[in-house]
Chain A
Amino acid sequence: MNAILAISAAEFRIALRNRWVAIAVAMMALFSLVLTGAGSAPTGILGADRLSVTVASLTSLAVYLVPLVALLMSFDAIAGEVERGTLPLMLTYPLGRVEILLGNFIAHMLTLTLAVAIGYGLAAGVAIWADPRASAGVPAMVRLFWTSLILGAAFVAIGYAISVIARRPGAAAGLAIAIWLVLIVLYDLGLLAAVVTDDGGRFTTEIFPWLLVGNPADAFRLYNLSASDATAAAAGVGAAAHAIPPAYALASILLWPLLGLGLAVLAFRKVTS
Chain B
Amino acid sequence: MPNLILSRLTKTFGVTRALRDVSFTVAPGERIALLGHNGAGKSTLMKIVLGLIPFDGGMATVLGAAPGDRAARRQVAYLPENVAFHPALTGLEQIRTYLRLRGEAARDAMGLLDRVGLADAATRRIGTYSKGMRQRVGLAQALIGKPRLLVLDEPTSGLDPVSRRDFYATLDGLAADGASILLSSHALTEVEARTDRIVILSQGAMVANASLAQLRQQAALPIQMQVRARDGAADMVAESLGGARFNGATVNLNFAPDQKLARLTQVTALGALIEDVEVIPPSLEDIYSHFSKQVRP
Contact = CB atoms under 8 A, between A and B. Distances in A.
A42 interface: no
A18 B89 CA distance: 10
A92 B73 contact: yes
A92 B50 contact: yes
A176 to B, nearest CB: 20
Interface residues of B, number: 30
A218 B97 CA distance: 39
Contacts of A94: 70, 73-74, 101-103
Nearest to B73: A94
Contacts of A84: 84-86
Interface string B83-125: 1111011000110011011110000000000000000000001
A13 to B, nearest CB: 7
B224 interface: no
Contact of A3 (B50, B83, B93, B100): B100
A202 interface: no
A14 B97 contact: no
A85 B84 contact: yes
A17 to B, nearest CB: 4
A18 B101 contact: no
Q: Chain B CB within 10 Å — which of A6, A13, A14 has the most?
A: A6
A171 B165 CA distance: 43
A26 B204 CA distance: 55
Q: Chain B CB within 10 Å — which of A3, A84, A93, A272 has the most?
A: A93
A45 interface: no
B20 to A, nearest CB: 20
Q: How large is the interface on A (under 10, 10 to 19, 20 to 34, 35 or more residues)?
A: 20 to 34
A9 interface: yes
A89 B50 CA distance: 10
A84 B80 CA distance: 12
A86 interface: yes
Contact of B101 (A3, A14, A88): A3
Interface in A27-51: none
Contacts, number: 72
B76 to A, nearest CB: 7
A93 B98 contact: yes
B228 interface: no
A89 B101 contact: no
A7 interface: yes
B248 interface: no
Interface string B61-91: 0000000001001101010101111101100
Nearest to B88: A17
B80 A13 contact: no
Given A93-B102, A94-B102, A14 B78 contact: no
Contacts of A95: 101
B88 A14 contact: yes
Interface in A215-269: none
A23 interface: no
Given A13-B93, A89-B78, A89-B83, A6 B100 contact: yes
B54 interface: yes
Contacts of B82: 85
A186 interface: no
B89 A14 contact: yes
Interface of A: 2-3, 5-7, 9-10, 13-14, 17-18, 84-86, 88-89, 91-96, 272-273
Interface of B: 47, 50-54, 70, 73-74, 76, 78, 80, 82-86, 88-89, 93-94, 97-98, 100-103, 125, 138, 141
Given A91-B52, A92-B51, A93-B98, 14 more contacts: A2-B103, A10-B89, A10-B93, A10-B94, A17-B88, A17-B125, A85-B83, A89-B138, A92-B73, A92-B76, A94-B101, A94-B103, A272-B52, A273-B52
5 contacts: A10-B94, A13-B88, A84-B84, A89-B80, A92-B76
